[in-house]
Amino acid sequence: MTITLSSPLDMHIHFRQDAMLDLVAPLSALHFAGGVIMPNLIPPVNSVDRLLWYRGEIDRALAGAAFEPYMTLFFRDYSEEELIAAKPHIIGIKLYPAGATTNSDSGVREITAMNHVFAMMEHHGIPLLVHGETHGFVMDREREFCEVYRYLATTFPRLQITMEHITTADAVSLLDEFENLRATVTPHHLMITLDDVVGGLMNPHLFCKPIAKRPEDREALLQAALRAHPKLMLGSDSAPHPLDKKECPGCAAGVFTAPIQLPLLADLFDRHDSLHNLQAFVSDNARRLYGVQPPERIVTLERSPMTIPDSYGPVVPMWAGRTIPWSVVS
């Protein structure tokens, strides 16, 4: 049994910089034709100059691979001149609430104080990508943030807003409520709940923001993905951290999945008799929603087992050492 995918896209990835970039960018390029690159470096990618520098670093790390990095800027109080200068180089601007996740200290403190920037982005057709969590109780952060999504979607009806890495049934239902909301979802949030993170022995390699939620949330996400809901895209949120930042007190948030996403998804869609919807979920929806035309790449998967490596350099992937039923045909 095999399945062939045309130009898979990962619409939310962390490539980092320096040695980590050199390690992980080629791993994404093995199976993907492109992806949306997150700007939460230290310092953040929040100027056109820094964006062009980062793009150069990524191109160097990709070493000619047929992978299109769709760049993002880190949201701040940009002027209209800055937005106009950035537009040709970016797919959107990523908003982090201050302190919500890894390297987000310089994020936004008060959403409505940025209305003039949202209005300019709407006017210039620049999508807004959002890490949607409040500072409330950890399990309620995304649900509480849905009020902010409603506010943004109604106040700026022509602003295209991507709810990044959704983890709740509440966020899934927003997709059908507002024309200008779409979302990414990670493979791990389709497969795990909080029980997998802390229900037994604690697993730091499954700890990420937003934290995995309840079985009913996972079920809502899974059903939307399996039917390739037209406003839902694969975004792995593959977020590498070195082993010593994960297996320690104060474990960093982030799950590394870049090299195993497609086998994980093929298995998941196969088990639910939904392989016919995988192409839309991993590429077609993103192409349509963002109007992108990635390089032509054909990736073939087969139902033959692979064992997930214990590590990639200093990074431990999700489910290291586990054998899964599908693999990419090299």
Q: Which residues are catalytic?
A: 237
Smallest distance, Å, CB 270 to ligand NCD? 26
Q: Does 122 bind Zn ion (CB under 5 A)?
A: no
- Per CB under 6 A, which of residues 99..118 are in contact with ligand NCD? 101-102
Instruction: Measure the CA angle with vertex 226, ends 222 and 231; round to 5°.
Output: 90
193 binds ligand NCD (CB under 6 A): no
Binding mask 132-171 for ligand NCD (x = CB under 6 A): ----------------------------------------
Q: Which two tokens stand for residue 193?
A: 């709940």
Site for Zn ion in 25-84 (CB under 5 A): none
Using the minimum distance from each CB to ligand NCD, give the nearer residue, 72 or 327. 72
Residue with Cβ nearer Zn ion (102 or 327):
102
Q: Is residue 198 close enough to count as binding ligand NCD by CB under 6 A? A: no
Least distance to Zn ion from the beta carbon of 185, Å?
12
Nearby residues of 283 by Cβ (< 8 Å), 6 or more positions away = 5, 6, 7, 8, 9, 33, 294
Q: Is 258 in the site for ligand NCD (CB under 6 A)?
A: no
Residue 72 interacts with ligand NCD (CB under 6 A): yes or no: no
CB within 8 Å of 81: residues ≥ 6 apart: none
Q: Is 254 in the site for ligand NCD (CB under 6 A)?
A: yes
Give dist(CA 5, CA 13) in Å, integer.
19
* Distance of closest approach, residue 15 Cβ to ligand NCD, in angstroms: 10
**Quick one: CA dihedral 92, 97, 102, 104, positive or negative?**
positive
Q: CA 154, CA 96: separation in Å to the nearest integer?
A: 20
Residue 185 tokens, joined:
């979802």
Whether residue 155 contacts residue 118, with contact meaning beta carbons closer than 8 Å, is answered with: yes
Gyration radius (Cα) of the chain, Å: 18
Please name which of 257, 296, 313 lies closest in space to residue 28, comparing C-alpha atoms. 257
Positions 164 through 183 that interact with ligand NCD (CB under 6 A): none
Residues facing 10 on adjacent strands: 35
**41 token code pair:** 């470096």
Give yes or no for residue 246 binding ligand NCD (CB under 6 A).
no
Residue 236 contact, options Zn ion, ligand NCD, none, Cβ 5-8 Å cut-off depending on partner type: none
Q: Is residue 40 a contact residue for ligand NCD (CB under 6 A)?
A: yes
How many residues lie near ligand NCD (CB under 6 A)?
11
Minimum CB–partner distance for residue 236 and Zn ion (Å): 9
Which of positions 202-241 make contact with Zn ion (CB under 5 A)? 237
Q: Is 10 in the site for Zn ion (CB under 5 A)?
A: no
**Residue 284: helix, strand or coil by DSSP?**
helix
142 binds Zn ion (CB under 5 A): no
- Which residue in the set 30, 148, 253, 320 belongs to the binding site for ligand NCD (CB under 6 A)? 253
Going by C-alpha positions, the residue among 320, 291, 306, 323 that lies closest to residue 30 is: 306
How far, in whole angstroms, is CA 177 from its chain's centroid? 22
Q: Which residue is nearest to Zn ion (CB)?
A: 237
CA distances from 209 to 39, 189, 270 (A): 16, 11, 27
Residue numbers of the site for Zn ion (CB under 5 A)? 237
Residue numbers of the site for ligand NCD (CB under 6 A)? 14, 40, 101-102, 131, 208-209, 237, 239, 253-254
